[in-house]
Amino acid sequence: MSSLADFQNSIYLQGLGDVRPPLPTDLTRLEGLAEGSLSVQAFGYVAGSAGTAATARANREAFDRWRIVPRMLRDVSERDMSVEVLGTAMPSPVLLAPIGVQSILHPDGELATARAAAAEGVPMVLSTASSYSIEEVAEANGDGPRWFQLYWPKDQEMAVSFLDRAKAAGYTALVVTLDTFTLAWRPRDLDQAYLPFLRGIGCANYFTDPVFQKAVGGPVTDANRDTALLHWVANFGNPSLTWDDLIFLRDHWDGPIALKGIQHPDDARQAVDAGMDAIVVSNHGGRQVDGAVASLDALTTIVDAVRDQATVLFDSGVRTGADVAKALALGAKAVMVGRPYAYGLALGGQSGVQHVLRCLQAELELTMVLAGITRPDELNLEALVRA
């Protein structure tokens, strides 16, 4: 039986030939290394959070307040880390969170991420604000599993065009991000007066879109570039959306839909009532509401509210295999990981992202089996104690 934990053995075996892993296996060390290989602006954009970063810190502290209680002598020789989420089979309960503007991290941006994801069989969620188009990323991703994340623009016709393009390019599930209809107060970016989009980064899906092009008088060239950027700014998000608007999405997307950015149990219930298939409990990695509840602290009440009427996914603050195990024990079906793979991309392109995925999944399997657990669905509150 092949196992995600085999990666550990392969590292030790390579050591016999004096080869060491190209990047640290403690993924919390990647941020510091990435800082040295990125511009102040790009690093600040990715590592930064809203306001004083209180929510980003709270996300991490919430993990620290739970401890795993290992159980012994449970025959953990047969393991199966795989799960199926929204019709997608995956090797472990881990997905790549949607991260826009990845070309600020590496010239190959989302293409490198898509190749890494496909090589590991891990689903990627492509951002609307990607630096390569829906179609280009699909080609790089090949047979790999892929979902599409929608930033719902004001122009409904363009929203439909994005959905049609994603469907045609083989993205099987839709993740609709609700918490970022506008960017929050982000001092690190403000102090640098840095917004990637105003430099045209992250606009690939817009600039290649027929509806967008119609609105700006044709394909985007130097001549209409300023018009295009202003149109992007005016259209990016829609603060007037309400729960009733979800009917529109259901009508235009026939696959599963997840709502990302849910932090309140009543919002989770409304998602269920609106016929959504899943929610992603997320505070956007602390990048939106500074002072907001830690995403992990919001998870349990939401899981209780939703019961088994919708799939509950989790993100914000996942850095280690133990973190994944804790989120699962608190009721998440799977987690999305954000910044760690962004740093992997910055440091090593495709292989950097693969390194992050292999480390995280191997550490998850080792954590679980050493705690007496052989399958993700065996994890529950009995595996945890409050610190």
Ligand X SMILES: O=C(O)C(=O)c1ccccc1
Under the criterion CB under 6 A, does residue 131 sit at the interface with ligand FMN? Answer: no
- Our finding on whether 180 is near ligand X (CB under 6 A) is yes
* One residue of 30, 34, 99, 294 binding ligand FMN per CB under 6 A: 99
List the binding residues.
45, 98-100, 127, 149, 151, 177, 186, 260, 282, 284, 287, 315-319, 338-339
Which residue bears the tokens 């826009």? 100
Place of tokens 């992997």: 344
Tokens 């989770």 belong to residue: 268
Q: Which residues are annotated as a binding site for glyoxylate?
A: 45, 151, 186, 260, 284, 287
DSSP state of 381: G
Which helix (H) or strand (E) segment holds residue 364: the answer is helix 339-370
Q: Which residues of 70-102 are buried (b: 16+ CB within 10 A; e: fewer)?
A: eeeeeebeebebebebbebebbbbbbbbbbbbb
Query: What tokens were used for 382?
Result: 């009995």
- Which position's Cβ is nearest ligand FMN? 338
Binding residues for FMN: 98-100, 127, 149, 177, 282, 315-319, 338-339
Site membership for ligand FMN, residue 260 (CB under 6 A): yes
State which residue, 47 or 268, has the beta carbon closest to ligand X: 47
Stretch 231-290 residues interacting with ligand X (CB under 6 A): 284, 287
Nearer to ligand X, 339 or 358 (CB): 339
Q: How far apart are CA 165 and CA 152, in angstroms?
A: 14
The CA–CA distances, whole Å, from 241 to 98, 126, 178, 246, 275 equal 21, 22, 9, 9, 17
| Under 8 Å between Cβ of 53 and 286 | yes
Cβ contacts of residue 204 below 8 Å, gap of 6+? 130, 131, 132, 133, 136
Which one of ligand X, ligand FMN, none is in contact with 306 (Cβ closer than 5 to 8 A by kind)? none
- Where in 308-347 is the site for ligand FMN (CB under 6 A)? 315-318, 337-339, 342
Q: Is 129 in the site for ligand FMN (CB under 6 A)?
A: yes
Q: From the candidates 106, 231, 284, 355, give the one annotated as an active-site residue.
A: 284
DSSP label at residue 170: T
- When asked if residue 88 is in the footprint of ligand X (CB under 6 A), the reply is no
Q: Which is nearer to ligand FMN, 163 or 318 (CB)?
A: 318
User: Both tokens of residue 219?
Assistant: 């394909």
Tell which residue, 306, 270, 266, 264, has the closest CA to residue 282: 264
Nearest Cα residue to 319 out of 30, 91, 106: 30
Stretch that binds ligand FMN, among 19-27, 93-101, 223-231, 374-382 (CB under 6 A): 93-101
282 binds, among ligand X, ligand FMN, none (CB under 5 to 8 A by kind): ligand FMN
The smaller minimum CB distance to ligand FMN, of residues 295 and 351, is found at: 295
Question: Could you tell me where the DSSP H helices lie in 76-224?
Answer: 109-120, 134-141, 156-168, 187-191, 204-207, 210-215
Active site residue 252: no
Selected from 285, 331, 344, 376, the binder of ligand FMN by CB under 6 A is 285
Classified as helix, coil or strand, 8 is: helix
Interaction between residue 41 and ligand FMN (CB under 6 A): no
Q: What's the min distance (Å) between Cβ of 340 and ligand FMN?
A: 7
Nearer to ligand FMN, 320 or 367 (CB): 320
Binding ligand FMN by CB under 6 A: which of 113, 149, 263, 354? Answer: 149
Closest CA to 76 of 358, 379, 333, 366: 366
Q: Please state the closest distance from residue 17 (CB atom) to ligand FMN, in A.
A: 34
44 binds ligand X (CB under 6 A): no
Is residue 177 a contact residue for ligand FMN (CB under 6 A)? yes
Residue 189 to residue 183: CA distance in whole angstroms:
11
Distance CA 175, CA 319 (A): 22
Which one of residues 38, 53, 58, 101 is an interface residue with ligand X (CB under 6 A)?
Answer: 101
Q: Does 129 bind ligand X (CB under 6 A)?
A: yes
Residue bearing tokens 């392109």:
349
Residues tagged active-site: 284
Residues that bind ligand FMN (CB under 6 A): 45-46, 97-100, 127, 129, 149, 177, 260, 282, 284-285, 287, 315-318, 337-339, 342
